[in-house]
Amino acid sequence: MHSNRLALYSQRMAAITLVFMVAMMVVNAVAWLYPEAASRYGLGFALTERQLSSLPEGGMQLTGWQCLGAILLSSIPLLALAVGLTNLRRLFKHYAQGQYFSNSAAVYLGNAGRAVAVWVLLDFICEPFLSLLVTINAPVGQRLLTFSITAPSFVALFLAACIAIIARILSQASEVDSENRTFV
């Protein structure tokens, strides 16, 4: 592939990554503000979608403080994912400048992989607190404390491990490339 075309694709991916980060946070907040629309149109990400789907149809009315708390709690894992996407965006910007085998590219890729793993961990940690928050006003016996480990969580952890290994390989390739440049 021609390097100019690769640089253009990398610039586009950097822009798309930024748009995705913003959209992810906005959609998460909108899902809590309008839970009926979220369930009808399938809005929300892992934690938000699981919590909204566990609420009964008539029980989708959350108080203002519950809604705000739900937005904040469900955004914590998404912020970790946004950090990973920020590193991915930096990686694409590096690639757009033609810096394919740099040590900083390996660092950005490794940080993105670690952020995905942290996202999965925070998703697991925040879920019980979020489930208690959204059911706190429910009658006794209908309050929920949920924990869940889903197949997508395992897939995300596997991908995070793959990304971390690829980052180590890229770091080694960067060292070899640096050594080769000193000999030439």
Q: What is the DSSP letter of 101?
A: S
41-92 pLDDT, tens digit each: 877 777 888 888 777 665 567 889 999 999 999 999 999 999 999 999 999 9
Question: What is the reported pLDDT for 73?
Answer: 96
Model-level pTM greater than 0.75?
yes
Nearest CA-CA partner of 115 in 8, 49, 17, 183: 17
CB contact set of 167 (below 8 Å; sequence gap of 6+): 106, 107, 109, 110, 113
Question: What is the reported pLDDT for 60?
Answer: 61
Structural domain spans, the chain: 3-183
pLDDT < 50 regions, the chain: none
Question: What is the reported pLDDT for 184?
Answer: 56
Token pair listed for 139: 């009658």
d(CA 100, CA 92): 10
Question: What is the reported pLDDT for 159?
Answer: 96
Q: 10 Å Cβ neighbour count for 73?
A: 22
